[in-house]
Amino acid sequence: MKLTKTYDTLLLDEPAEHILRVTLNRPEVSNALNTQMGLDTLDLWDSLCADPALYRCVILTGAGEKAFCAGGDLKQRLGMTDAQWQAQHLIFERGVRAMAACPIPIIGAINGAAYGGGCEFTLSCDFAYASSTARFALTEVTLGIMPGAGGTQTMPRAVGIKRAKEILLTGLPFTAQQALDWGVVNQVCDPATLQAEVLATAQRIASNAPLSTRQIKHAVNTGMQMDIASALLFEIEAYNRLPPTEDRREGVAAFNEKRRPVFKGR
């Protein structure tokens, strides 16, 4: 069973077995985040949270060559009342929380500018590869607001507190190479090979035991919020769910039989 939904602002495709690619699809406005995209991404992540066995890895990217996501659609926001602005932002908040809660590994393929909410999407991925032409910024301070989709929390966790404060308080953009050096992305790719390189990594993840990858993600994300002693205990709780699985038996059998394992996610 696969996800069969269609969305106004997202393109979904399956570039390889067990892999879902999600493309932010408003290229005419640099894939800016409007209310409909907020509703679409919220529904998507909620759907994957509800049935994580649908896929083994998700790729998040943007349509076109110019931008991954330019952040909130300021043209739509022009003239909004305070109540309308906050109601829209609540949709965005819920979407980012649902993305963070998604048990399936998420890789960002950052194909261009990732500003504001686009930068926050990047930080919310489990990890990301970026085109060498990509640029990043959290520009909210220049607009009289502040990041509200996790940026003040995810950026310091990625780059450290002092670097994060510089990024957040200046609103200045930084390059893909700086994003790599600082820990925002894991790899910088030629624009022509970005999608292929991300897909190769996604296929490697998807070839591993899906229960294991989901438990690893759960253990890392939860354990990072704990003291080390509690986190080590939590790791064992996560680990102990795996020995009774068919995939564990298949993995050990395949190793001894010198063949590739065939994992079923059970």
Catalytic annotation, residues: 120, 140
pLDDT at 172 over 90: yes
Give me the CATH code for the 210-256 domain, please: 1.10.12.10
pLDDT at 244 over 80: yes
Query: Cα–Cα distance between 128 and 70 in angstroms, integer?
Result: 17
Residues 81, 41 contacting (CB under 8 angstroms): no
Query: Cα–Cα distance between 154 and 94 in angstroms, integer?
Result: 16
Report the candidate in 154, 156, 114 with the shortest Cα–Cα distance to residue 136.
114
- When pLDDT is cut at 50, 70 and 90, the band that residue 1 belongs to is low
- When pLDDT is cut at 50, 70 and 90, the band that residue 2 belongs to is confident
Residue 178 CB: number of other CB atoms within 10 A? Answer: 17
User: pLDDT digit string (tens) for 115-152?
Assistant: 999 999 999 999 999 999 999 999 999 999 999 999 99
Residues 173, 137 contacting (CB under 8 angstroms): yes
User: pLDDT digit string (tens) for 52-79?
Assistant: 999 999 999 999 989 999 999 989 989 8
Which pLDDT does position 45 carry in this prediction? 97
Which pLDDT does position 148 carry in this prediction? 92
Q: What is each CA distance from 176 to 63, 81, 110, 124, in whole angstroms?
A: 18, 36, 9, 17
pLDDT at 187 over 70: yes
Paired tokens of 9: 């602002």
Paired tokens of 79: 């003239």
User: pLDDT digit string (tens) for 3-17?
Assistant: 888 999 999 999 999
Q: What is the pTM of this model?
A: 0.93
Q: What is the mean pLDDT of residues 206-227?
A: 95
10-206 CATH pick, 3.90.226.10, 1.20.140.10, 1.10.357.10, 3.40.1190.20 = 3.90.226.10
Q: What is the mean pLDDT of residues 217-233?
A: 95
Which pLDDT does position 26 carry in this prediction? 97
Q: What is each CA distance from 105 to 1, 55, 67, 159, in whole angstroms?
A: 18, 9, 23, 21
SS3 122: helix
Angle at 141 between CA 139 and CA 142, to 5 degrees: 70
Q: Which H/E stretch holds residue 43? A: helix 35-50
User: Which has more pLDDT, 3 or 196?
Assistant: 196
Domain ranges across the chain = 10-206, 210-256
Which pLDDT does position 4 carry in this prediction? 82
Residues 222, 214 contacting (CB under 8 angstroms): no
Half-sphere exposure of 54 (CA within 13 A, CB side): 21
